[in-house]
Amino acid sequence: PRGLVNGSNTCFMNATLQVLMGCPPFVHMFRAFRNLPTRPVGCSSTPIFDSLVQFVNSFQNGQRIRNQGPRSKKTAYVDINVGQPFSPAPLLSVAQGILGLHIGVQHDAEEFLS
């Protein structure tokens, strides 16, 4: 699975984002908007939403893996997201401006989520 680079005390945000990526309704909602034209952050009326669409779609390069248990007669396929760890810097940049987050300062994951 892909990981997130933890730079400058961003583990509060990374932990929250990784949990949300495990929530299928969250992922499906943002993937539904993947074909929207990208707008510059300063020109968008929904910068957090736009950044989340970009973030969620960064996980899209999945790989189908055949998964068959030793006793199972059925074959299941599982989408595994593989790739290099990446930085959620664009989302962090937007969050800093809107939520007043400070780089290098510890924050609470629950506060970031709400």
- What is the tens place of the pLDDT at every residue in 4-56? 888 878 888 999 998 998 888 998 999 999 888 877 767 888 888 998 998 88
Helix/strand/coil (H/E/C) assignment for every residue in the chain: CCCECCCCCCHHHHHHHHHHHCCHHHHHHHHCCCCCCCCCHHHCCCHHHHHHHHHHHCCCCEEEEEECCCCCCCCEEEEEECCCCECCHHHHHHHHHHHCCCCCCCCCHHHHHC
Tokens (6 digits) for 96: 């800093």
Q: Is residue 77's pLDDT more than 80?
A: no
101 lies in a domain? yes
Residue 15 within a domain: yes
Residue 95 lies in a domain: yes
Domain for residue 2, yes or no?
Answer: no
Domain for residue 24, yes or no? yes
What is the model's pLDDT at position 62? 55
Kindly indicate the confidence band of residue 99, based on its pLDDT and cuts at 50, 70 and 90: confident
Q: Report how many domains make up the chain.
A: 1
The overall pTM is greater than 0.85: no
Residue 5, in any domain of the structure: no
6 belongs to a structural domain: no
Q: Are strands 62-67 and 76-81 parallel, antiparallel or unpaired?
A: antiparallel
Residue 108 lies in a domain: yes
